[in-house]
Structure 1
Amino acid sequence: MDYHNPNYATSLYHFIPSPLFLGKQIAPNAFQTTPKLHILDLSGNAGCLPEHPELSSMPELQELYLRRMQISVFPAEIMSLKQLRTLDLSQNSLQHIPQGVKDMTSLTQLDLSDNNISALPPELGMLEPSLQVLKLDGNPLRSIRRTILDRGTKAILKYLKERVAED
């Protein structure tokens, strides 16, 4: 691979940073040069993601892994990724999931495990039937009974969807 070739980044489909990347922050506009990127894994690279990354410049992104990134606020920019099928935000410090997550209709897998989430927005239920896997273990969820959580993704989404209808 010729990393010095200016066309290299525009044809990149999968990016997992090397250990040498640890601790270095990505420029906010860095993703503008990777429009064909399908998979981005920044897991464990806490502090490398800028406060407002321009993720919308990666319209073909299908898998995004941001595990162990010390993220405390759900990055709103993620909701602009219309092709995103897998989103891993596990092992962070998230406390809130925005209502706008309902617009992420291509999601099939969402991992929110091991955060500080105590409630889920009812709008998350609108992702049924596309969302097949919802991981919530390790969160202090208080808004959903344990019996529903134990029954899995379909039961959780059904419960949340019913809450939307009540509002």
Structure 2
Amino acid sequence: MTRQKKGILDLQFRTTTWRCSPDIAAFSDTIFDPAWGFPPTESLNEVVTEHDGMFLVAKKHVAEYVARYNPQCLRVSANSGKEFDLDYTNFKVAKGTTYERTLIIATAPITIFLQKGVALDPGPAAAFYVAVTRAKQSVAIVLDKPGQSAIPMKDSVLNSSY
């Protein structure tokens, strides 16, 4: 912002997305600290499928979820998600890619962000933002206890409203 005030650079915000469904775009806006002043994102993705939006998936339902929805599985590093035998892509490697659906392994800071609303530090926030915004139609985050998260958690992947 200092360089902008000095006239050295001009910041322009692109606030529309064609990739992410409206629920994903709205959630992605919550990842960065509101004090940063980013404008809200408008989703122009009008595609409707049988499974759209943001979801929490309990660990015991991960295999069932992956079998049913075939999401691209994302994790922060090779040390994450070892308890599941999944074909992962790391968050940073996924930058620039697009998938129909993703399943994200929550880190400890992401878990606290979701459960308690504690802001993520800038680096983890940027990495999580990249992971969330890779999906066009649905993002599932592995988390056993939702805490105060507004993201829906279902008891079973086979629940028809899931």
User: If the TM-score is normalised by the length of the shorter chain, which range does it land in?
Assistant: under 0.3
* Larger strand percent: 2
Higher relative contact order (CA 8 A, sep 6+): 2
Q: Normalized against structure 1, the TM-score is what?
A: 0.25
